Amino acid sequence: MAPPAFWKGYLKLSLVTCPVAMTPAVSESEKIRFHTLNRASGHRVLSQYVDAETGEPVDSADQVKGYEIGPGEYVTLEEDELAAVALESTRTIDLEMFVPKDSIDWLWYDRPYYLAPDDPVGEEAFSVIREAMAATNMVGISRLVLARRERAVMLEPREHGIVLWTLHYGGAVRDPQLYFDKIGEGKPDAKLSSLITKLIGERTKNWDVSMIEDPVQDHLRELIEAKKTHKALPKAKAAPASKGNVISIMDALRKSIAAEQKHSGHK
C-alpha cells in the first residue's frame, strides 16, 4: 500500500491546472532507529525545550519564532503572520519554463518525490503535461515551498507519473575546478589504460538494485537478535592490513585481472 501524500496542491501550465499529490520517492523508515536510554534505570531519555536563561521548561504553546536583530534582541513572528506572507508556490507548482532533460547536471539534484494526479477529473490534464514533456525530451523548472522554504524544483516524466526533484541553489554546489585543477593533465600510460579497461570489463554487470543494499542494517539486525537471545555476538571483521604503497601499478593490475578471471572461471 502506497504511503499517504505529505503535500497536496496544483500543477499549473499556463491555463491548464490539475490537482496533484506528492510523496517522497525515498524512505528511511526501514532503517533501524535507536532511542537514547538512561543507562542506570533503562528508561528513555526525553528532550525538551528549556529557557536558555532560567533553565525552566517551555511549553509548546509558549514557544514562538524569533529573528535576531541584535545581541539578545529578537523580533517575534506568530504563525498567522508567517502564513500571511506565504508564496503562491506553497500550493501551486507553476511550470514557467522548460529545459532539455540532459542539460541539468546530476550534481544539482537534491531529493526525489513522486507526483501524481489527486483526482480522476484532473488526470487528463496531468497526462497531457507529462506526455508533452516526454515527447520533447524536456523537463519543467518551477518553485515550490517545502517546510516554509521555497525550493527550485525540476519535473521529469517517468512512466505514468512525474518525478519532482528539489534542486540545490546556485551557490550550494562547489566549483569542481577548485579541486580538480590540481590534478595533472598528463595522459596515463597506454598499456596501463588498456589493463584498467580490461579490469573494468571483468567487473561489468547489469544494474540491479541489490548492488546498493545497506549491509550495515543487516549487521545491526544480527547484533540486535544476538542481544535478544543472549547468543554470542557476531565478530567484527578485521580491517584489511595495509601493504604500503604499490611499487608497480602494472604488476598490481596484472594480478588483479588474473584474480578476476580466476574468480569468474575465465582463462
The structural domains of the chain, ordered by start, are 7-30+85-167 (2.40.290.10), 187-264 (no CATH)
What is the model's pTM?
Answer: 0.67
CB atoms under 10 Å from CB of 115, counted, come to: 27
Report the candidate in 112, 140, 94, 113 with the shortest Cα–Cα distance to residue 21: 113
CB atoms under 10 Å from CB of 242, counted, come to: 6
Give CA–CA dist 132/139, Å, rounded: 10
Name the 3-class secondary structure at 201. Answer: helix
pLDDT band, residue 137 (cuts 50/70/90): very high
Greatest pairwise CA separation for the chain in angstroms: 76
pLDDT band, residue 246 (cuts 50/70/90): very low
pLDDT band, residue 266 (cuts 50/70/90): low
Neighbour-count burial of 107, counting CB atoms closer than 10 A to its CB (0-12 exposed, 13-18 middle, 19+ buried): exposed
pLDDT in tens, 4-57: 888 999 999 988 899 999 999 987 767 778 889 999 999 999 888 999 899 999
Among 55-69, 139-153, 227-241, name the one with the lowest average pLDDT: 227-241
Rounded (to 5) percent helix, strand, coil in the chain = 35, 25, 40
Give the model's pLDDT for residue 249: 67
